[in-house]
């Protein structure tokens, strides 16, 4: 067994995929992180304190995972949908009644969207209450707030797409708020909706925003967000005084 593993891991085919050996030693464990595109956002080594569940509750990672689930289910939903006023609602009915697992797919996308909003909000609260916004992490806090707003934008634009009464009136009420802004408010509202009322233009714009512009921006800015976490020295947990130091005067 051991020899088989070594044969596979040292074979030319394996080595053409992974440029490191079996990760059971410090060198190869470092190389996993530095030579793998999916891992390279991670640091090679992490502080034990930052892994403590009761510190972060894993909320940032969970938010990223939910975003991944939403991307996959969202792409699958696109196979059974077209953003036209005449046909959108019919497509949702067909999806729910005739497409295998269609209802389940839509449910996962819907509940995933709600879950993402909740997780992102609690992630922000966690970062605030642990003081993790303090220098040198100020800018990453700003990036995080922008991501929170974009999450709301992604959810809001997706809300219109089923084109049922719930969607129509929620977007009508939601966008009417923008009209109250002094100065640019009414213009902003008409730009968003493509007209004075929620109609085909609004559906087209919300669809483009929902499936392309906002997700692409979230993916890009999330990369920046995670990269900055590493560049700013990992989670702030390690700034906390050591348990050994507590109660001692270590001024």
Partner 1 sequence: MAEKTKPESFSPETAPTKTYSLVELVKAPTTMADRGPDNTIFAFPAVALIELLLTLGVIVVLLGMSLAVNAPLEEIANPNTTTDPAKAPWYFMGLQEMLEHGHPTLMAVLLPTLMVLFVISIPYLDNDRTGSGVWFTSARGKRITLYTALYALIVMPTYIFLDSTFPPRELLRGRLPDFLLQTIIPAVVMGVLVLLPLFVLFVITKKPTPREIMLVLFTMLFVSAIVFTLTGFLFRGPGFKLYWPWDMPGGYSPWDNL
Ranges within 170-229 binding partner 1 (CB under 8 A): 170, 172-174, 177, 180-182, 185, 197-199
Footprint on residues 83-102 left by partner 1 (CB under 8 A): 85, 89, 92-93, 96
- How far is residue 11 from each of residues 37, 121, 251, measured CA to CA in Å? 21, 47, 55
Answer for which of 147, 209, 214, 235 binds partner 1 (CB under 8 A) is: 235
Cα 128 to chain centroid, rounded? 19
- At closest approach, how far in Å is the CB of 11 from partner 1? 21
- How far is residue 73 from each of residues 34, 43, 62, 69, 107, measured CA to CA in Å? 30, 30, 16, 6, 10
Footprint on residues 107-136 left by partner 1 (CB under 8 A): 107-112, 114-115, 117, 125, 128-135
Our CB check for partner 1 shows the closer of 198 and 218 to be 198
- At closest approach, how far in Å is the CB of 41 from partner 1? 10
Answer for which of 77, 91, 154, 168 binds partner 1 (CB under 8 A) is: 168
Burial 230-247 (b: 16+ CB within 10 A, else e): eebebbbbebbeeeeeee
Footprint on residues 6-35 left by partner 1 (CB under 8 A): 23, 26, 29-30, 32-33
Answer for which of 21, 22, 58, 200 binds partner 1 (CB under 8 A) is: 58
Residues 22, 131: Cα–Cα separation, whole Å: 38
What count of Cα atoms within 13 Å lies in the side-chain half-sphere of residue 114? 5
Answer for which of 9, 18, 21, 62 binds partner 1 (CB under 8 A) is: 62
Footprint on residues 131-150 left by partner 1 (CB under 8 A): 131-135, 137-138, 141-142, 145, 149
Residues 203, 158: Cα–Cα separation, whole Å: 10
- At closest approach, how far in Å is the CB of 134 from partner 1? 4
Contact in structure between 59 and 119 (CB atoms under 8 Å): yes
Our CB check for partner 1 shows the closer of 1 and 53 to be 53
Contact in structure between 23 and 32 (CB atoms under 8 Å): yes
Contact in structure between 116 and 155 (CB atoms under 8 Å): yes
- At closest approach, how far in Å is the CB of 190 from partner 1? 16
- At closest approach, how far in Å is the CB of 17 from partner 1? 16
Our CB check for partner 1 shows the closer of 69 and 213 to be 69
């Amino acid at each position: 067994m051991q020899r088989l593993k070594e044969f596979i891991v040292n074979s030319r085919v394996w080595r053409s995929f992974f440029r490191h050996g079996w990760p059971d030693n410090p060198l190869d464990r470092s190389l996993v992180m530095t030579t793998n595109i999916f891992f390279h956002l991670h640091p090679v080594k992490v502080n034990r304190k930052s892994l403590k569940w009761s510190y972060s509750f894993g909320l940032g990672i969970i938010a990223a995972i939910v975003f991944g689930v939403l991307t996959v289910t969202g792409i699958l939903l696109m196979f059974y949908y077209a953003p036209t006023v005449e046909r959108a609602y019919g497509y949702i009915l067909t999806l729910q009644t005739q497409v295998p697992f269609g209802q389940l797919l839509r449910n996962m996308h819907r509940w995933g969207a709600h879950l993402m909003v909740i997780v992102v909000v609690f992630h922000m609260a966690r970062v605030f209450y642990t003081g993790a916004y303090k220098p040198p992490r100020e800018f990453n806090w700003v990036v995080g707030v922008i991501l929170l707003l974009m999450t709301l934008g992604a959810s809001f634009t997706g809300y219109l797409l089923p084109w049922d009464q719930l969607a129509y009136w929620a977007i009508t009420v939601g966008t009417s708020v923008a009209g109250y802004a002094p100065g640019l408010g009414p213009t902003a509202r008409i730009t968003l909706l493509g007209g004075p009322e929620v109609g085909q233009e609004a559906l087209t714009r919300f669809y483009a925003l929902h499936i392309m512009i906002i997700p692409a921006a979230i993916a890009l800015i999330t990369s920046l967000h995670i990269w900055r976490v590493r560049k700013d020295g990992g989670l702030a947990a390690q700034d906390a005084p050591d348990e050994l130091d507590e109660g001692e005067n270590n001024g």
